A and B are shown apart, each in its own frame.
Chain A
Amino acid sequence: MAFRKLAVAAGLTVALGMATSAQAETFKYAFQGELKGLDPYSLNETFSLGTLGNVYEGLTRRGPELEIQPALAESWEVVEPTRWRFHLRKGVKFHNGNDFTADDVVFSADRVRSQESDLKTRIGADVKVEKVDDYTVDFVLPGPNPILHYEWDTWGIMDKEWAEENDTVKVMSASDESPSYAGLHANGTGPFKITGHETGVKTTFEENKDWWDYGNKKFNIDSVELTPIGSDATRVAALLSGELDMVYPVPVQDIQRVDGNDGTRALTGPELRTIFLGMDQMRDELLYSNVKGKNPFKDPKVRMAFYQAIDMEAIKQKIMRGLATPSALMISPFQFALSDQFERFPYDPEAAKKLLVEAGYPDGFEVTMDCPNDRYVNDEAICQAVVSMLAKIGVTVDLNAQPKAKYFAKVLQSNGFDTSFYLLGWTPGSFDSWNILSNIIHCRSEEGSEAPFNLGGYCNPKVDEITAKVLVENDPDKRNEMIAEAFKIHMDEVGHIPLHQQGLAWGVADDVELAQRADNTLMFYHVNKN
């Protein structure tokens, strides 16, 4: 394998004491998880897609403020409401030297929608992709879709010839017997090439001097080394000791230490993920409660009582150490223009108690809460705080906090939504409210085809009606008004209890400048090292 030879060469260089790379700028960083593979269609997960986004480019890309910019497509227009035309950039080459053309886009569109792909949501199965000429591609939709291209920054275009030559047209799946070529090798058009990939150990990148935008490049690093470091303490220590230029995430309790240390700083900001609580409103009797014969969460007053019993300011200060933005909505203000029209209901335990009395639970009741303990920032601590806050209004919550592998196995559709009260986080992959409406707020169907992540089964046909309209409305202002209307209904009925957008925390060496994107993605072309 290529990286083996490279490792030998690199090893010998060091062994012989020759420092050949004196002026080369290598950017070394660590993330808590590992890059699972190099095939950009195998896993729909932020870190994998973001990292491979340095190698594979989409027709669009997103800038530091997550604004959509042209990338492999120079421009696009909506010819008819259901026909989008993309004009491709000319003169772009893949890392292996092949030309980028419309054939590659058509091929990638087929591959990304194939059976084994995990990114099928990028383009609907019934969208037709038509090559007009070598540098023009039309997407013909079954109905209007204003957000067709919102997720295309993470749909990397692959080289048709390369995939066919190396027999890697099929996306690798765990049920396959032999490894796929694309899972271990990469060939994109992006600013960086992968020069070595040892699964779970190290991945190395080198700048691509033939990148189409190399003339305007804003980075000065020429190679990158990614090491996964799972242990929080070790990851922070590796930054403090000066071995690494950047690590993420930094646990909130270590932010001060990273900031106080000479030569490093903590870079914090709001993330897109919204953390919220959900309640089973579907069953006639809760699975885990002492209330028999009826379901207290069917009463909006009980849900409102829960809402007002939770002191978000305390959670923000004490548990998140300031690194959280309490949220009135189920979506980050970055992703919804009318967010400022909404405000959280006030924290008011007295009002909450009164609501419980009105609902017929003067002495409260008991319920079990499901909570992950290794998925979101301080997830278990948040749940514990919620438990003690609810105790103050007389509700006894039995907390069941588990590792994410067990938690998700219990509460998701595959296990029949086995929960009464839960904490979950959600980032709309499409950067758009419709994703939240359709996945979490829409009425749920038992087999899970509709709103599979509406674990509590909140349901209002009026909201569903609006959701259907939002999907096909092409006018952005009208569309936002509709979304706001749906969110308003959901909020007034307390369909869920949104808590906050958790914060991002990266640890960065002082001599490094980079852009922290709110989707927790690091683009190498934003990195400068002095």
Chain B
Amino acid sequence: MTAFIIRRLLQAVLVMLVVALIAFLMFRFVGDPINQMVGIETTPEQREALRVRLGLRDPILVQLARFIWNAAQFNFGTSYQFKQPVSEMILQRMPATLELSMVSAIFALIVGIPMGVYTGIRREAWLSKLFLTVSLVGISLPPFLIGILLIFIFAVNLQILPSFGRGQVVDLGFWSTGLLTVSGLKALILPAITLGLFQLTLIMRLVRSEMLEVLRTDYIKFARARGLTERAVNFGHALKNTMIPVITVTGLQLGSIIAFAIITETVFQWPGMGLLFLQSVQNVDIPIMAAYLMLIAFLFVVINLIVDILYTVVDPRVRLDGGAAV
């Protein structure tokens, strides 16, 4: 087990190095950061001096080595635009993104599972057909369109929910939360739906197909034959057995929820890490871009590692000699 974890950790380091390399190469094509940092009247000599001060005139290999060396120590430098330490800025923005991601994941689960169960059991009911149609919308419409649609209906026309921001947040020192105030909770609703809709659809369809399969198995037939109530059969036996794939998928999707929050955060001006990243792309704020990309890569690596370890715990059949699932 220990050998397995060590091996996976080494692989993780390799993945991070590759991400760092790709990120670094990308930064050579995003544009000129200097022009975004100074006003238009700044003279060419002054621009050149700034370029030298930032180390952008050093040989590429020197820049790459410096970048990796600093990243290894979690030092991402100072933002070109805001002149603040990047790690501090990301930490400030992290609670917003994590809260939004968690709430939309929970929303996707508590709405998606019952919908999946229902459509699995009552395949012919009109409500099932409605759910399936709606889920098609959820899968095919891009999140920014859903977001703008929701804003148009609930903020502009009905004026019951805010169209942007996090509302009133309470600062707990290490964490700023919007979960403790009314306006904070109201502000969460639309972004959480926008971000969670795709996952909801995914979970619903997963639960439905699993239910359909499980309901056909012999032990369900026997349970029925023993005269157990429908509820006991459906929820006590069938649903329980559909949960393993659902938990796996949800865990794996958590990473992509956080990463995909970029779009939702932009539409709702949600002050999280994704919005910060997108703004930094527009501004060619390389330190922020680098830190964000490394963080997301790190997140995926960690989630995968945990899932791998859980597999070996839950299912001993998964062999430990490199055959672990991704």
- A residues sitting closer than 8 Å to B (CB atoms) are 4, 7-8, 10-12, 14-15, 30, 34, 36-37, 39, 42-45, 115, 118-121, 172-180, 183-184, 198-202, 227-231, 233-235, 237-238, 240-243, 374, 403-406, 408-409, 412-415, 426, 429, 439, 447-449, 452-453
Contact = CB atoms under 8 A, between A and B. Distances in A.
A240 B84 contact: no
Given A178-B85, A180-B83, A183-B83, A240 B267 contact: no
A403 B32 CA distance: 11
Nearest to A184: B84
Interface string B128-170: 0000000000000000000010011001100100111100111
Contacts of A200: 82, 271, 275-276, 279
B67 to A, nearest CB: 15
A403 B35 CA distance: 12
Interface of B: 30-51, 53-55, 78-85, 88-89, 92, 148, 151-152, 155-156, 159, 162-165, 168-171, 173, 176, 180-183, 266-269, 271, 275-276, 278-279, 282-284
Contacts of B82: 36-37, 183, 199-200
Given A11-B168, A37-B82, A183-B84, A118 B276 contact: no
Nearest to B34: A414
Contacts of A449: 43-45
Most chain A CB within a 10 A radius of its CB, from B31, B34, B41, B81: B41
Given A118-B39, A228-B269, A414-B44, 13 more contacts: A30-B164, A43-B37, A43-B39, A45-B39, A120-B46, A173-B53, A174-B83, A179-B85, A230-B279, A231-B266, A234-B163, A241-B155, A406-B31
Contacts of A43: 37-39
Nearest to A261: B156
A30 B84 CA distance: 23
B29 to A, nearest CB: 8
Contact of A14 (B47, B181, B284): B181
9 contacts: A7-B170, A11-B168, A11-B171, A11-B180, A14-B181, A115-B49, A199-B89, A403-B31, A409-B35
A179 B83 CA distance: 6
A14 B171 CA distance: 13
A426 B40 CA distance: 9
Most chain A CB within a 10 A radius of its CB, from B80, B82, B181: B82
Contacts of B40: 44, 426, 429, 453
Contacts of B284: 405
Contacts, number: 191
Contacts of A183: 82-84
A113 to B, nearest CB: 12
Nearest to A415: B32
A405 B283 contact: yes
Given A176-B83, A234-B151, A452-B43, A229 B269 contact: yes
A120 B45 CA distance: 13
Contacts of B54: 174-175
Nearest to A201: B271
A230 B83 contact: no
Contacts of B50: 173-175
B9 to A, nearest CB: 30
Contact of A179 (B84, B180, B276): B84
Contacts of A119: 39
A15 B168 CA distance: 9
A15 B83 contact: no
Contact of B183 (A8, A14, A44, A230): A14
Contacts of B162: 241, 243
A243 B176 contact: no
Contacts of A30: 164
Nearest to B96: A201
A238 B154 CA distance: 11
Contacts of B165: 202, 227
A242 B159 CA distance: 8
Given A198-B271, A199-B89, A241-B155, A408 B83 contact: no
A228 to B, nearest CB: 7
Nearest to B81: A36
Given A11-B171, A198-B271, A414 B164 contact: no
Contact of B269 (A173, A234, A241): A234
A179 B78 contact: yes
A172 B80 CA distance: 11
B269 A7 contact: no
B164 A42 contact: no
B83 A121 contact: no
Most chain B CB within a 10 A radius of its CB, from A44, A235, A241, A452: A241
A233 B271 contact: no
Contact of A230 (B47, B84, B269): B269
A115 B165 CA distance: 37
A40 to B, nearest CB: 12
Given A200-B271, A228-B269, A241-B155, A405 B282 contact: yes
B83 A237 contact: no
B83 A227 contact: no
A174 B274 CA distance: 22
B79 A174 contact: yes
A174 B279 contact: no
B84 A412 contact: no
A212 to B, nearest CB: 29
Nearest to A427: B40
Given A14-B183, A173-B50, A199 B84 contact: yes
B282 A403 contact: yes
B273 to A, nearest CB: 11
Contacts of A240: 156
B267 A405 contact: no
A14 B268 CA distance: 22
Contacts of A230: 266, 269, 275, 278-279
Contacts of A39: 83
A37 B79 CA distance: 11
Contacts of A174: 37, 50, 54, 78-81, 83
A228 B269 CA distance: 8
Given A11-B181, A15-B181, A231-B267, A238 B164 contact: yes
Contacts of B182: 14-15
A31 to B, nearest CB: 12
A8 B279 CA distance: 27
Given A201-B271, A414-B44, A409 B84 contact: no
A370 to B, nearest CB: 13
A452 B44 contact: yes
A179 B87 CA distance: 12
A29 to B, nearest CB: 12
Nearest to B80: A174
A175 B286 CA distance: 13
A227 B164 contact: yes
Nearest to B35: A408
Contacts of B163: 234, 237-238, 241, 243
Contacts of B176: 7
Task: Enumerate the 5 nearest inter-chain pairs by beta-carbon distance, A residue then B residue, closest first.
Answer: A44-B39, A405-B31, A409-B32, A448-B44, A11-B170
Contact of A234 (B37, B83, B268, B283): B268
